[in-house]
Amino acid sequence: MRPDAAHTVAVLDAVRGKGPRVHCLTNSVARAFTANVLLAIGAVPSMSHEAPEVGAFVENADALLVNLGTLDAAMRAAMMAAIGAAEARGLPWILDPVFADRSAARAAFADELLARQPAALRLNEAEAAALGAGNLDAARRVGTIVAQTGEIDRISGPHAACDVALGDPLMRQVTAMGCALGAVIAAFIAVSDNRFSGVCAAVHVFGAAGSLAGSRAAGPGSFVPAFLDALFTLDAASFAELEKGR
């Protein structure tokens, strides 16, 4: 199935109206862009990542992002503390196992976190292969929504699946696009009663903004401001424009 534009816009408007706080434990390359993407959709980012302090930030948040890029021992400790605080409060958290395919230690840590049952998982094909189909199936069975991005983005949960065929090739030429999508998924889950439809709406918004920005950009440099502007202004008319352009 494909996501429904009216539903997607309704969830986006809920994000804009409620301004969910998303605490991000994410890699140092992606931090500024992730914060700007969250602000562009109306969410409120925070990024503190010291273990003794992270609990207080998670207490004040509506969702948590755990992204494994540029890991170190201090960040791993902060992640364990943050996930513990999220579990204690029933807060949804999203796992993004960046580059799990490049390092066996990274893949092992990703598997360990996956067993803690994140609300959603964002990864690409190579990272999915590193985690293993068996582990992903097990995660889906206990309710984790898996968003595997690529030329076509595939969202799958325990009972349903959804495809998004939007976006632009320039998105592969901009750093941290996938990382920022993980944060958007966190913001959308924070305002959604149904996690699966929340993740579908997040991926739909992200792809639509990518398509619109791609049609206005002269390269990956001008793509970035166009993408943030598109996230900020996206509405029902934008989706109608995209439908017409097919």
Residue among 11, 119, 146, 228 that touches its own copies (CB under 8 A): 228
Provide the minimum distance between the beta carbon of 236 and its own copies in the complex, in angstroms, as a whole number. 17
Identify which of residues 98 and 146 has a Cβ nearer to its own copies in the complex.
Answer: 98
Does the protein bind its own copies through residue 74 (CB under 8 A)?
A: yes
Segment contacting its own copies by CB under 8 A, of 103-111, 122-130, 148-156, 193-201: 103-111
Does the protein bind its own copies through residue 220 (CB under 8 A)?
A: yes
Q: For the chain, what is the HEC assignment?
A: CCCCHHHHHHHHHHHHHHCCEEEEECCCCCHHHHHHHHHHCCCEEECCCCHHHHHHHHHCCCEEEEECCCCCHHHHHHHHHHHHHHHHHCCCEEEECCCCCCCHHHHHHHHHHHCCCCCEEEEEHHHHHHHCHHHHHHHHHCCCEEEEECCCEEEECCCCEEEECCCCHHHHHCCCHHHHHHHHHHHHHHCCCCHHHHHHHHHHHHHHHHHHHHHHCCCHHHHHHHHHHHHHHCCHHHHHHHHHHC
Identify which of residues 155 and 226 has a Cβ nearer to its own copies in the complex.
Answer: 226
Does the protein bind its own copies through residue 128 (CB under 8 A)?
A: no
Distance between CA 245 and CA 168 in Å, rounded?
Answer: 13
Identify which of residues 43 and 128 has a Cβ nearer to its own copies in the complex.
Answer: 43
Give, as ranges, the residues between 151 and 210 that touch its own copies (CB under 8 A).
Answer: 172-176
Does the protein bind its own copies through residue 117 (CB under 8 A)?
A: no
x/- mask, its own copies, residues 17-56, rule CB under 8 A, reads ----------xxxxxxx-xx--xx----xxxxxx-xx--x
Residue among 10, 88, 104, 108 that touches its own copies (CB under 8 A): 104
Does the protein bind its own copies through residue 70 (CB under 8 A)?
A: yes
Residue among 9, 20, 22, 57 that touches its own copies (CB under 8 A): 57
| Number of Cβ atoms within 10 Å of the Cβ of 32 | 12
Place of tokens 């021992």: 73
Residues near 194 by beta carbon (within 8 Å), at least 6 away in sequence: none
Does the protein bind its own copies through residue 226 (CB under 8 A)?
A: yes
Does the protein bind its own copies through residue 149 (CB under 8 A)?
A: no
- Please give the residue ranges that form the binding site for its own copies (CB under 8 A): 27-33, 35-36, 39-40, 45-50, 52-53, 56-57, 60, 69-74, 99, 102-106, 172-176, 217-222, 224-233
